[in-house]
Amino acid sequence: MSSRFEKLFDYILKVEGDYSDDKHDKGGKTRYGIIESEARRHGYKGKMSELPLSMAKDIYKKDYYDKNRLEELKDDRVALSILDWAVNSGMTGIKKAQSTANDLGAFLNIDGVVGSKTIEAINKITPEKFLVLYHTKQRRFYESLAERKPTQRVFLKGWLNRVARKEKYIKENL
């Protein structure tokens, strides 16, 4: 596995934590940020509280890092930020990366599929400009979600802290 993936995976583990079974979390039981339905799709049959770290790592590599072609992004900060939002919100994180690129001059289809055009467009943008706008969109997304779905309001502070923590990590480590 690439050293970039290893570095980003270590970060994701820090923000996702270990095991969780919050009744308000739409994902249900999770371990290392992997929801139960995702683990089952990958053939896991055991208790979620016992999901092996190696399996979580394989899922992140295949379904989030490789699928979204993050190795092809020139900037580690941008790759980390997109990976983090995709892990937390699925295809929304990818669509918002595409819309961010469009807001900064690209002409992408906002389809949630990372192809050569998406990679090329994001790589042409100054990383700092991309990240400022992308993180603003992430905050707005969480605020809108909490507004639309009252049961999710309990997570808003944590979601906003997640973005702030990511920004701090990027500034200090990448």
Write out pLDDT tens, residues 66-96.
999 999 999 999 999 999 999 999 999 999 9
Domains and CATH numbers, the chain: 1-67 (1.20.141.10), 72-174 (1.20.141.10)
> Is pLDDT of 1 > 70?
no
Summary mean pLDDT of the chain: 96
Greatest Cα-to-Cα distance within the chain, rounded to the nearest angstrom: 47
SS3 72: helix
pTM for this model (two decimals): 0.94
> Is pLDDT of 25 > 70?
yes
